[in-house]
Amino acid sequence: MKRILISKTRKLIGEKVKLAGWVSARRDHGKLIFIDLRDRSGIIQTVVIPDKEEAYEAAKKIRHEYAIEMEGSVKERPSGAANQELTVGNVELEVEKIKILSKIEEDLPVDISEKEMKLNLETLLNYRSLTLRNERINLIFKVYSELLRLYGEFMRKEGFLEIKTPKILSSATEGGANFFKIKYFDRDAYLAQSPQFYKQAGVGIFERVFEVGTVFRAEPHFTTRHVNEYVSLDAEMGFIDSFEDIMNQLEKTVSFMFGSIKENCAKELENYGAEISGFKTIPRIKLTEALSVLENKFGKKTEKIDIDPEGERMICEWAKKEYNSDLIFLTHYPSNIRPFYTMPSADPQYTESFDLLFRGVEIATGGQRIHDLSQLKENMKKHKFNPEDFKSYLDIFRYGMPPHGGWGLGSERMLQKILGLKSIKEAVLFPRDVKRLAP
């Protein structure tokens, strides 16, 4: 007999089937043994009765998380028993045969059968290969898979070509000190902090490109929104009139993703008590205006023209009240806190750049880039970089580079904030932070 998925049993009442999966729970009720079997499609309750001697003897030995195979007939379940949220519900399996495929090596260090595991983050991450099996945690990554798919789908529809760029680089891309230096044979190299240089090269070739790729940040901060390796949803587009074009494109993209997640992941969102509202436009205000709001409405003064995490939380709170929006664009960041490739505004103290904030956290950064070679070299010098060290990057601008710009969108931050997870680390399968390099 060929194995079928648990979700298919619903329509097979009275039929004999073979199922395979993991043991979510085993309950002994008098002479009966109930085993909840879980596969990728759902969970089904199974019953083993003493009459089926061989199966019964096997069932007695079975423990949580064994991988097993079962054969039996599908029965309708008494009504009222069908309401367990994540189970197939209206059917159960009367077991005739059991085959143990793989046992557990030792007692389970954590109980993953509870619906809502009350583990601290450390434990949750230490036993990751096990805790990820928990039904509710599983859902996070189903939403993530959909989020990644939707990004690709929409970008392609909008004429962006998907590219993959190198992650081992000869120079750091984003300035600052948060890069990892590695040994590359007899030279030094850097792990990519972003696909910045190569996606710009992509514009010179294909006009519009996007990338879903892993990037690395030697961020020493141990926070709820930083990891040291994350997946960036990047885009870069040519022949723009201004950086407004980029915000418009990002706005359309996020609007499409939110709308589709709302529809396609209703069950998952409900489980997390998460709601996302559809929108057409996202309010846009200058960073300096945001700082005035902070001062006037929240009594928060800042010395430099910059916004800290607390300010980002406050401005999102304000955007919710003022515009009923979970998202807000802050624009025109000062040039001294933006990378050298950022296009200066008419007033060169500022730049044609933005951050997109969502529910209190920055989820994307973007802007227009300098596309004129000599202007770029000058700006590098202003930022204390030597153009000689960026020769191959500068080559991009030698042969007809159009006005362009793009964004980097942190996929895990987006997922974290959609589901309302406390830490970004819950939104990463196997997160890397200052203290964690395994599992």
Which chain residues interact with ligand AMO by CB under 6 A? 174, 194, 196, 217, 219, 226-227, 230, 232, 362-367, 406-408, 410, 412-413, 424
Please, which residue, 57 or 162, has the CB nearer to ligand AMO? 162
Please report how close the Cβ of residue 167 comes to ligand AMO at its closest, in angstroms.
13
Q: Show Cβ contacts of residue 340 under 8 Å, excluding neighbours closer than 6 positions.
A: 175, 376, 379, 380, 382, 383, 385
Burial of residue 374 (CB within 10 Å: 0-12, 13-18, 19+) is exposed
CA distances from 358 to 122, 211, 213, 320, 329 (A): 26, 21, 21, 10, 9
Please report how close the Cβ of residue 362 comes to ligand AMO at its closest, in angstroms.
5
CA distances from 272 to 139, 265, 405 (A): 9, 11, 36
Please, which residue, 163 or 424, has the CB nearer to ligand AMO? 424
Q: Show Cβ contacts of residue 409 under 8 Å, excluding neighbours closer than 6 positions.
A: 151, 232, 233, 234, 235, 250, 254, 356, 363, 364
Cα separation of 188 and 408, whole Å? 26
Residue nearest ligand AMO, Cβ-based: 410
Please report how close the Cβ of residue 195 comes to ligand AMO at its closest, in angstroms.
8
Please, which residue, 49 or 421, has the CB nearer to ligand AMO? 421
Please report how close the Cβ of residue 140 comes to ligand AMO at its closest, in angstroms.
16
* The length of the chain, given as a count of residues: 439
Please, which residue, 154 or 358, has the CB nearer to ligand AMO? 358
Please, which residue, 73 or 224, has the CB nearer to ligand AMO? 224
Q: What is the DSSP annotation of 28-90?
A: EETTEEEEEEEETTEEEEEEE-TTSHHHHHHHHH--TT-EEEEEEEEEEPPTTSTT-TTEEEE
Please, which residue, 267 or 304, has the CB nearer to ligand AMO? 304
Please report how close the Cβ of residue 202 comes to ligand AMO at its closest, in angstroms.
12
Please report how close the Cβ of residue 298 comes to ligand AMO at its closest, in angstroms.
22
Please, which residue, 22 or 340, has the CB nearer to ligand AMO? 340
Please report how close the Cβ of residue 339 comes to ligand AMO at its closest, in angstroms.
7
CA distances from 188 to 168, 184, 217, 228, 258 (A): 10, 6, 17, 20, 41
